[in-house]
Amino acid sequence: MNEAAELPADDAPVPDPTPLYRLVPTDHCDPVDGAWVFQSGAFDNNDDDDMSIVLDDTLQALGRIPDDLPDRTFPDQEGRWGVAVIHDAGYLRNDLEQEVRRTPRAEEPPEPAHGDVHGRKNGNRRKKIKARAEWVLEPAAPAD
């Protein structure tokens, strides 16, 4: 079967239980007891009220895992990026009034699993997202 046929359509809704991955650089973390801890700014918007994410359902359809995201996305920044997971798209949509969108990227490096969490993220919302996030892959750089 062709893998592309299994990919969710670009305009398909993102189901509530879908895990969302967020690439987080070390400069949006604090070193605490030899580990990286998110700052709430790690969950701020990039621009236009959008926070960049990667959608688990599309990664699975592609046969990929979140652990490859830093090297695939930032191959020249080894160790600087980690991957956080927010386990439930529905939490962002229903509790924090955010819109979860599929926004595949074709530019280099292409990312068909790319998405955005659209909506204003004041300090309170960012703290709530941070509280729901956990590492899938901590940045490899030492947290001194």
Contact status, residue 95 vs residue 127, Cβ threshold 8 Å: no
- Burial letters 87-120, b for 16+ CB under 10 A, else e: ebbebbbeebebebbbeeeeeeeebbbbbbbbbe
In this predicted model, what pLDDT tens digit does every residue of 13-34 receive, in sequence order?
999 999 999 999 999 999 999 9
Amino acid at 3: E
Mean pLDDT throughout 5-16?
90
Mean pLDDT throughout 55-81?
96
* Mean confidence (pLDDT) of the chain: 94
In this predicted model, what pLDDT tens digit does every residue of 82-120 receive, in sequence order?
999 999 999 999 999 999 999 999 998 899 999 999 999
Give residues with Cβ within 8 angstroms of 132, minimum separation 6: 86, 87, 88, 91
User: Is the confidence at residue 5, as pLDDT, over 60?
Assistant: no
User: Is the confidence at residue 2, as pLDDT, over 60?
Assistant: no
Token pair listed for 140 = 């490899």
Contact status, residue 114 vs residue 66, Cβ threshold 8 Å: no
